[in-house]
Homo-oligomer: A and B are copies of this chain.
Amino acid sequence: MTNCIIASTSTLHGSQPLEYLLETLEELYQGQDEVLFIPYARPGGITHDEYTIGINNIFKKINKRIVSIHMFSDAQEAFKNAQGIYTGGGNTFLLVDQLYRNECIPLIRDAVMSGTPYLGTSAGSNICGLTMQTTNDMPIVHPPSLKTLGIVPFNINPHYLDPDPNSTHKGETRETRIKEFHNLNTQPVVGLREGSWLKVEGDKITLGGNLTARIFEKDKTPYEIEPGSSLSELN
């Protein structure tokens, strides 16, 4: 049975990475000792090794070890024994490009669909949607496709930001960009504010955290849903 946490962000302002999610993660990875980390979204600044060590230090707090996919010579091998998966944030174009190059898309999907617990934050959440077309990131690389895992039957917009009513900036607001997406695409988009996550358990999808989320459906006025709401019927 699918068992996923799809979070808007790894880190909340003024707190440590994943701190606000630790209890949720203890429940998600219950019974597992080791989590397979996917650091591919990180565009530099720190190496995959450093990124992995940082994540391991966090997961230690809930008594889990991290192994990272970049430590295996063969991605297939890494997934064969994966007890749990965590895909971290960074740049979604880079993440998706690396997933395609390393032929990981079907491997992650198969693992998740067969019940391996999965955590995504930011870019790692974006890829849980049907496509990565509602990312906020810059196209620093050109992946072969924008199709992603389709763990949920809609798209995710992580780090969702409300328009600033006092702004004099003429660049598009997030809402306008998603509206543009809907001029050419039909799937709903879930705007997840920082601090929110989706919990996927089998066919059940629920909004976690204390904030409302903003739902965008083609040709409908966007609307808010309350924490704890079901999104199982959204598609």
A interface residue numbers (CB < 8 A to B): 9-14, 43-45, 90-91, 93-94, 132-142, 145-146, 158-159, 161, 168-172, 177-181, 183-185, 194
Contacts and interface: CB of A to CB of B under 8 A. Distances in A.
Contact of A139 (B13, B132, B171, B172): B132
A170 B13 contact: yes
B138 A135 contact: yes
Interface of A, secondary structure class, is: loop
A53 to B, nearest CB: 19
Nearest to A178: B138
A161 B14 CA distance: 23
A216 B43 CA distance: 17
B139 A133 contact: yes
Nearest to A164: B164
Contact of A134 (B133, B138, B141): B138
Given A9-B170, A43-B180, 14 more contacts: A13-B168, A13-B169, A13-B170, A44-B184, A136-B171, A137-B177, A138-B178, A139-B139, A139-B146, A140-B180, A158-B171, A159-B169, A159-B170, A161-B169
Given A161-B171, A170-B9, A180 B138 contact: yes
